[in-house]
Amino acid sequence: MILEDYYTPKILEEAYKFSESGTYHCPEDGPYDKYKGYILGLPLYEKPEVFGLHDNAEISAAIHDANKLCDLVLSLLPRSTGG
């Protein structure tokens, strides 16, 4: 379960990371600006690793989105043959 990685006593340990890359971790205690800086420093688009997924999950999601977009465009094309 994904939430088990976030709701765990291990989060209180300094070395605990949410992802293998270490990009996602619990920031140390500090003033508001420190937390804000950490959040602003996070990637704009989260990678699958933050959810415990393999990198191929991102590829699969992109393929799925592209197929949905193509289906939508094709559904908008006129269907009459004229005459």
pLDDT digits (tens, 9 = 90+) for 22-69: 788 888 888 999 999 999 998 888 888 877 788 788 888 899 999 999
Selected residue with higher pLDDT from 39 and 8: 39
DSSP calls for the chain: -GGGGTSSGGGGSTT-BSSTTSSSBPPPS--HHHHHHHHHTS-SS--GGGGT--THHHHHHHHHHHHHHHHHHHHHS------
pLDDT band of residue 1 (cuts 50, 70, 90) is low
Q: What pLDDT does 83 receive?
A: 59
Selected residue with higher pLDDT from 17 and 69: 69
Q: What pLDDT does 2 receive?
A: 67
Residue at token pair 């989060």: 11
Q: What pLDDT does 66 receive?
A: 96
